[in-house]
Chains A and B, each alone.
Chain A
Amino acid sequence: MIWDWSFALEILPVLARAAVISIEATLLGFAIAASLGLVLAVIRIAVPWTGWTISVLVELIRSTPLLIQIFFLYFVFPKFGLVLDAFTAGVMAIGIHYAAYCSEVYRAGFDNIHRGQWEASIALNLSSWTTFRDIIIPQAIPPIVPALGNYLVALFKETPLLSAIAVLELMQTAKIIGSETFRYTEPITLVGLFFLAMSLVSAALIRALERLLNRRNTR
């Protein structure tokens, strides 16, 4: 028999515990990505001369592989005296990588704000901080929530990369089970099914959110 149900059930609790780590890494990574991305996008508008620097930085981050960036943070930073444990290095690499993508999403959101809103803020003598906090960001964020949601799902699917620096997340646990028992079929298939289930659920949630936001906007 190729597929052994009792073995699959036996490893399920172990994988479930590892899934918690994967989800933790996803949430922490996305928290970094969403906030750092916002900061980058705001700086780009608030301090015009940084525009070129930031777009080159974003291009650099987006056009090199995440796996290499994870290695870079984990192996190269200690040479400069900054030793990170595997989980921190991995989460930071994922967070910074997706911050580059998210900053572009925020930028699209800001570009969609009518110019009159900026002009009105200047006319009312609002500081640029107040303009961003109370006028621009509350209008810019809701339309881009679905796009950010897509990146959340994409980021979640990148977490198996952390197994390359031996973070004990889902994929690494499956690999360990595989190498201990010489049975790869069940652990890796279960990991695949887990990701499939999570992505389908989150895709449905994003679609529901999109409908909700659209309804509110058209009203």
Chain B
Amino acid sequence: MGIRTLVAMLFVSLAVIAVLATQATYRLFLPGLLQGAVLTMEIAILGSLLAVIMGVLAALARMYGPAPLRWLATVYVEIFRGTSALVQLFWLFFVLPQFGVTLDAFLVAVLALGLNVGAYGSECVRGAIQSVARGQWEAGTALNMSRAQMLRRIILPQAFIAMIPPWGNLFIELLKSTALVSLITLSDLAFKAQQMNQNTFKTIPIFTLVLLMYLAMSLTVSIGMRLLEKRASLGLARGKAA
């Protein structure tokens, strides 16, 4: 999908929300749902930050770390990719307290989603680093750079661009996964919707608004990542860019 279509879809979804808001049956639910949407965004942003940090660390540890660190990173990636995000949330929320570690629900949400997406992200980072031509490493060696220097100055800046599209997908995945946190008592957008639905039985307006709000949020992420990709590939001789 072109960036123009995405922007058009974003405008249409926002316009539909605005038009619906003029009707009393819909306006009634808007403040509560917006409150939920703010929490959803907070979790999504913090979770994404954690995911990026974990993804880069795990990928670097797996590729260049000493053996114990490599194993640790592999175990982390396999466990978080191999089990369901919902199970991870429940485990951190209900099981961890039994071992004496009680975290509040918000922290659990950020941790579980960030660690989950970070595990997938580490594979993107690894793929992107491996996609940098080997000649770049050899040139670095020829210039007598240390491996850390080569990574920081030569490899990662080039790998960065290749990482943007898959990370965009992952951020959207993470945004959508935040709906799960409603099941561990956090009052995010999905939770508010369910609560209002149980109180008022006005199912159609509530869920229509909720779907539109999630749509607007993920379209924003898509558009942002497209712009970032354009910006990052400025001045680079890459085939698909521009």
Name A's B-contacting residues (CB within 8 A).
2, 55-56, 59-60, 62-68, 71-72, 75-76, 79, 157-161, 163-164, 171, 174-175, 178, 184-185, 188-189, 191-192, 195-196, 199-200, 203
- The interface stretch among B124-132, B152-160, B208-216, B228-236 is B208-216
Name B's A-contacting residues (CB within 8 A).
1, 5-6, 9, 78-79, 81-88, 90-91, 94-95, 98-99, 172, 175-180, 182-183, 190, 193-194, 197, 203-204, 207, 210-211, 214-215, 218-219, 222
If A55-B1, A157-B83 touch, whether A67 touches B222 (CB-CB below 8 Å) is no
18 contacts between A and B (CB under 8 A): A59-B1, A63-B176, A63-B214, A63-B219, A64-B215, A65-B178, A66-B176, A67-B180, A68-B214, A71-B194, A157-B83, A160-B87, A163-B86, A188-B90, A191-B87, A195-B87, A196-B82, A196-B83
A68, B190: Cβ atoms closer than 8 Å? yes
Chain A residues near B95 (CB-CB < 8 A): 184-185, 188-189
Tell me what chain B mostly uses at the interface: helix, strand, loop, or mixed: helix
Q: How far is the CA of A4 from the CA of B82 in the complex (A)?
A: 24
Chain B residues near A188 (CB-CB < 8 A): 87, 90-91, 94-95
In the assembled complex, the CB of B195 is this many whole angstroms from the nearest CB of chain A, namely 12
- Chain A residue at smallest Cβ distance from B98: A185
In the assembled complex, the CB of A100 is this many whole angstroms from the nearest CB of chain B, namely 12
Other-chain contact of A178, B94, B215, B222 (Cβ < 8 Å): B94
Q: How far is the CA of A62 from the CA of B215 in the complex (A)?
A: 9
Q: How far is the CA of A195 from the CA of B85 in the complex (A)?
A: 11
- Which 7 pairs of residues, A with B, have the shortest CB-CB distance? A63-B218, A65-B179, A184-B94, A65-B176, A67-B179, A199-B82, A160-B86
Q: How far is the CA of A64 from the CA of B40 in the complex (A)?
A: 13
If A68-B193, A68-B214, A157-B84 touch, whether A76 touches B207 (CB-CB below 8 Å) is yes
B190, A196: Cβ atoms closer than 8 Å? no
If A67-B180, A68-B190, A192-B91 touch, whether A79 touches B204 (CB-CB below 8 Å) is yes
Q: How far is the CA of A76 from the CA of B197 in the complex (A)?
A: 10
In the assembled complex, the CB of A57 is this many whole angstroms from the nearest CB of chain B, namely 11
Chain B residues near A159 (CB-CB < 8 A): 84
If A67-B180, A67-B182 touch, whether A189 touches B91 (CB-CB below 8 Å) is yes
In the assembled complex, the CB of B126 is this many whole angstroms from the nearest CB of chain A, namely 16
If A56-B9, A63-B222 touch, whether A71 touches B177 (CB-CB below 8 Å) is no
B219, A171: Cβ atoms closer than 8 Å? no
Chain B residues near A184 (CB-CB < 8 A): 90, 94-95, 98
In the assembled complex, the CB of B99 is this many whole angstroms from the nearest CB of chain A, namely 6
- Chain B residue at smallest Cβ distance from A63: B218
Chain B residues near A75 (CB-CB < 8 A): 197, 203, 207
A63, B172: Cβ atoms closer than 8 Å? yes
Beyond A55-B5, A192-B91, list 6 extra A-B contacts (CB 8 Å). Answer: A56-B5, A64-B176, A71-B193, A79-B203, A161-B86, A171-B90
Chain A residues near B183 (CB-CB < 8 A): 163-164
Other-chain contact of A64, B5, B85, B180, B211 (Cβ < 8 Å): B211
Interface centre among B6, B87, B95 (most CB of A within 10 A): B87
- Chain A residue at smallest Cβ distance from B216: A63
In the assembled complex, the CB of A52 is this many whole angstroms from the nearest CB of chain B, namely 8
In the assembled complex, the CB of A177 is this many whole angstroms from the nearest CB of chain B, namely 11
- Chain A residue at smallest Cβ distance from B172: A63
Q: How far is the CA of A157 from the CA of B86 in the complex (A)?
A: 9
In the assembled complex, the CB of B144 is this many whole angstroms from the nearest CB of chain A, namely 40
